[in-house]
Amino acid sequence: MSSLEPIMERNFLEYASYVIVDRAIPELNDGCKPVQRRILHTLHKMDDGKFHKVANVIGETMKLHPHGDLSIGDALVVLANKEYFIEKQGNFGNIVTGHRSAAARYIECRLTPLAKETLFNKELTEYQESYDGRNKEPVMLPVKLPVLLMLGVEGIAVGMATKILPHNFIELLEAQVKILKYEPIEIYPDFITGGSVDISEYDEGRGRVRVRAKIESDGDKQILIKEIPYSTTTESLIASIESAAQKKKIKIAGISDYTAENVEIEIILPRGVHAEEVVPQLYAYTQCEVSLSSNITTIKDGHPINITVNETLRHLTDRLREQIGKELELELRKLHDKQHWLTLEQIFIEKRVYKKIEDATTETQVTREVYDGMQPFAKRFVRPMTDDDIERLLEIRIRRISKYDQNKNRRQIKEVEDNVTIVTDKLSTLTQTTIGFLKDLIKKYKDDYPRKSRIELFENIEKKDVARQNIRVGYDANSGFFGSEIKDSDYIITMSEYDRVLFISKDGSYRIIAPEQKVLIPGKVIYWEPFDQQNGIKFTVVYRDNDKIAYAKKVHIHKFIKDREYELIKDKAGKIDLLIPGDSTSKIKGFFVPAKRQRVKDVDFDLSELEFTGPASKGRRVSPKAISRIQKLKDENDVSVEDENENTAINSEVSVDKSESTDTPENKKPDNTPENGSGQRTLF
């Protein structure tokens, strides 16, 4: 096994490097994955102005691509649907509906004028051998566009992945102009499917964007979806809406898809449901809003790097300037070559140098005669004359000499000289030349590539804020069960799946739970109410421990773990005597346990003097002596728990106990008797 380890390690590293560099991750400079580069190069070689069968393009590309026709066909369709470089004819599928393209033998394509103008230059392209050594393929296309940011791309390699969101073509060019002018830039994604995009967390491509569908209300009972978020289809969007409806997160009467050339999804709402409440639910629970992360990993100089959008565009702008400089230098060399030849031809014919070769008998003499005849005019040469120049002069036919037009030749030389001056000036002001190139592209293609996604700042929609209040729950004091299946309850509340309920038992234990179908609540419950998760709930608690020593405290319950049991009383043998929601200002009287020769029989305590503490704190001692009973001296919104009474009190919204003492028999009420006119129940 040990002998295989270095082999496996070496082979794995080679495989990982191959997948990263040669398959999944795009090149920074030309923005293409290898398969895309091979497709574009093949289309350029095949270009004759006519459409080509995609099947033929795939076949030609297979000469360069070692991974089969399926990967080539899929990549070509995706590239064509970007609508920048490949012109389509036939059914290339639909990125909105998710329908696949027709078979490759039925569809055709060719390069767009934009691709021909900006992607290719054979003389400036470096080539390498194909995988089988029979053909040549470009190492990199000499592109003059920020292709990487235009197209957007996803790729998963070994140990890394990339996700680059597409950006608007014209906005990228305008940003490049700003870069060349040393002005600040801001670039944000633009999606072919439209919709609205929140770029507040984009962070130059290191964060994420949120994309929303375009939703319109046609009256109060009909909702129309006109645009969908990028990365979704009408089918997946409708499926997410139907799923949310089945889970009762939204309520709809029907949904219809009328999408043809443009997206049109119609949602009909049932009676009692309004569009203004359903639209936020669509954003919260369905694919009407999606979050798209961005992670720009690309290949530079053969190695993967992480880079931001702004850094990418600055690098590509520098490369564009360099590329235009190389093209101008190439053009200048060609002009100098043409000027040189026209000058040699002019001297050779006008000065009748060709006459000197009539008496020469050998090839060497002919060459020497031409060289000697041209030498007196060497000052007019653009560059020194070579043997190749002499060979070319000797190839001029008599017919060409006899019909030689001196004026035409001079006009040609003058035209070339003027062009040399123009190109030289462009090279000397290369930055302005690059800006001019970009502005020409903007002017030419601005109307063809408008922004499709609207940039907006979304208001955060919390699912719990728009959740439907569709769960009816109750508590059965006799059985101790709580949930949506409990029907034998005097107090039913309606809540959502995100709401929580606070239960406090007589022994001081409390728990905060989600709405369940049926769950057993331990202990004798004295209070249960929906829990305010944002602000919590405040209570004033008076209780006695196992030794009947009374304590009072004010607590604020706001932090919790769902379904976990907490304690208001440390002593399990103790019990709560008084539970008052809120910040109580009541006064209480505690009656001491009777004893011999007892002179002081009670003690007063002002609850307003208490400060709020944590729920687990012991509280402030009312008296050092044991207390047999506690009496409230001031009416307050509270729940009194009698020492002798074994029943429990259940609070609905605000339970009110009008009793003056916790154990006065005449103040007791029969079970299931509602408070006067309040509709609330307190059980004793």
Q: What is the pLDDT of residue 494?
A: 85
Last residue of a domain, one of 86, 114, 142: 142
Statement to judge: residues 281 and 338 lie in one domain: no
Name the token pair of 13: 């590293």
> Do 252 and 110 sit in the same domain of this protein?
no
Query: Do residues 247 and 331 share a domain?
Result: no
Q: For position 464, what pLDDT does the model report?
A: 67
Top-confidence residue, 636 or 394: 394
Helix axes 309-350, 430-445, angle to 10 degrees: 110
Q: How far apart are CA 614 and CA 578, in angstroms?
A: 18
pLDDT range class, residue 637, cuts 50, 70, 90: low
In a domain, 165, yes or no: no
CA distance 212 to 195: 6
The predicted pLDDT at position 571 comes to 64
Whether residues 238 and 132 share a domain: the answer is no
Share of the chain above pLDDT 90, in %: 52
Burial bucket for residue 224 (CB in 10 Å: 0-12, 13-18, 19+): middle
Share of the chain above pLDDT 70, in %: 91
Q: Is residue 305 part of a domain?
A: no
**Which residues have CB under 8 Å from 645's CB, separation 6+?**
663, 668, 684
Please, which pLDDT band fits residue 533 given cuts at 50, 70 and 90? confident
Mean pLDDT score, 327-349: 93
> CATH no. for residue 224?
3.30.1360.40
- Confidence (pLDDT) at 522: 85
Measured over the CA atoms of residue 193, residue 199, residue 205 and residue 209, the dihedral's sign is: negative
Q: How far apart are CA 677 and CA 657, in angstroms?
A: 14
- 14 located within any domain: no
Question: In the predicted model, what is the mean pLDDT of residues 328-337?
Answer: 95
For residue 413, count other CB atoms closer than 10 A to its CB: 16
Q: Tell me what the mean pLDDT of segment 28-36 comes to.
A: 95
Tell me whether residue 607 is in a domain: yes
Report yes or no on 181 lying in a domain: no
Give the end of a domain, one of 82, 114, 142: 142
Are residues 443 and 481 both part of a single domain?
no
* Residue 672 pLDDT exceeds 50: no
Enclosing domain of residue 37: 32-142
Helix 363-374 vs helix 309-350: crossing angle, to nearest 10:
100
**Which of the residues are catalytic?**
106
Residue 555 tokens read as 């607590």
What is the mean predicted confidence (pLDDT) over 15-23?
Answer: 77
- DSSP code, position 271: T
Residues 625 and 488 in one domain: yes
Enclosing H/E stretch for 401 = helix 398-402
Residue 344 covered by a domain: yes
Burial of 384 (0-12, 13-18, 19+ CB in 10 A): exposed
- If asked whether residues 36 and 85 sit together in one domain, one would say yes
314-318, 341-345, 528-532, 619-623 — most confident range? 314-318
Give the separation between CA 209 and CA 200, rounded to whole angstroms. 7
What ranges make up the beta strands (E) of 196-355? 196-198, 208-212, 214-217, 222-227, 254-257, 265-268, 289-293, 297-300, 303-306
CB 99 within 8 A of CB 93: yes
pLDDT digits (tens, 9 = 90+) for 583-609: 888 888 888 888 887 888 888 888 888
Domain finish residue from 270, 287, 304: 287
Statement: residue 401 has pLDDT above 90: no
Residue 81 structure tokens = 């649907």
pLDDT in tens, 175-227: 999 999 999 999 999 999 999 999 999 999 999 999 999 999 888 889 999 99
Element (H, E) at 78: helix 69-81
pLDDT in tens, 244-266: 999 888 999 999 999 988 999 99
Report in angstroms the alpha-carbon separations of 397 from 342, 400, 432.
Answer: 15, 5, 45
**Residue 363 belongs to domain with CATH number:** 1.10.268.10
pLDDT digits (tens, 9 = 90+) for 482-507: 888 887 777 788 888 888 899 988 88
Average pLDDT, the chain: 86
Write the single-letter amino acid at 539: F
101-112 pLDDT per residue, tens:
999 999 999 999
Stated pTM of the model = 0.77
Q: Do 254 and 329 share a domain, yes or no? A: no
Please check whether residues 640 and 506 belong to one and the same domain.
yes
Same domain, 278 and 243: yes
CA distance 271 to 288: 23
Give the Cα separation of 531 and 520 in Å (integer).
18
Residue 293 predicted with pLDDT over 80: yes
Task: Verify that 282 and 341 share a domain, yes or no.
Answer: no
Distances in whole angstroms, Cα of residue 405 to Cα of each of 257, 339, 484:
73, 16, 103
Q: What would the pLDDT profile of 603-629 be if each residue is shown by its tens digit?
A: 888 888 888 888 888 888 888 888 888
For the stretch 139-174, what's the b/e string if a residue is b when 16 or more beta carbons lie within 10 angstroms of its beta carbon? eebbbbbbbbbbbbbebebeebebbbbbbbbbbbbb
Query: What is the domain count for the chain?
Result: 4
Mean pLDDT of 561-583: 81
Q: Give pLDDT tens digits for 57-103.
A: 999 999 999 988 999 999 999 999 999 999 999 999 999 999 999 99
pLDDT confidence band for 535 (50 / 70 / 90): confident
Domain assignment present for residue 419? The answer is: yes
In a domain, 652, yes or no: yes
**Do 75 and 223 sit in the same domain of this protein?**
no
